[in-house]
Amino acid sequence: MSRRAIYPGTFDPLTNGHVDIIARACHLFDEVIVAILVNPGKQPMFTVDERVEMLNEELGPRFPRVRIETFEGLLVDYAMKCEAQAIIRGVRSVKDYEYELPMILMNRRLNPLVETVLLVAAEDTSYISSSLIKEVFSLGGTIDGLVPDLIVERMNNKIRAGL
Ligand code: PNS
């Protein structure tokens, strides 16, 4: 049986921290579905379609066993629909663990068949978050080396387009 995992998140934008976790997940699973949450409640920098396109462009050539999808509703329901055995989440710190634990336990209560696997972030990406990237970028700071070059380019294009 092929081992399939879901790596869910907002990915607004994709960072090198996400890429590190995806690489680690690919060592453990035959197929990794990067699942972008469609969340109309949040005001994102990139639309879901833009994120799907960017993730395909960036991850496609590097990770042939990664698939980019979107989902709405309960994550565990989506995991069952995809026939995934596991949910991947990255942890950078104890604070992340505290944020993840209630979700892990709730997801387990909702569906005990789906296991959450926590992967510890690489030291050099452990301070990177999408929100920090957006803040530094919006204030004119450099984000080179913290997100893939393609993402830097797309963020610059957004600014140029006045969005
Ligand atoms: O990268 P993020 O924004 O921290 O990801 C959060 C995410 C997408 C994992 C979480 O919001 C989620 O699973 N949302 C789907 C709705 C759901 O299942 N909620 C119950 C979780 S216990």
Q: Mean pLDDT, consecutive 10-residue segments, the chain of 163 residues?
A: 95 98 98 93 91 98 98 97 98 98 98 98 97 96 97 92 69
Ligand 1 binding pocket includes 13 (Cβ within 6 Å): no
- 103, 104, 109, 116: residue to mutate for ligand 1 pocket, most atoms within 8 A of CB: 103
Domain boundaries of the chain, sorted by first residue: 4-160
pTM: 0.96
- 15, 21, 34, 37: residue to mutate for ligand 1 pocket, most atoms within 8 A of CB: 37
Separation between Cα atoms, residue 22 and residue 32, nearest integer Å: 8
Separation between Cα atoms, residue 113 and residue 84, nearest integer Å: 10
Atom of ligand 1 nearest to the CA of 35: 8
Q: What is the pLDDT of residue 131?
A: 96
Q: Choose which CATH entry (3.40.50.1100, 3.40.50.300, 3.40.50.620, 3.30.43.10) describes domain 4-160.
A: 3.40.50.620
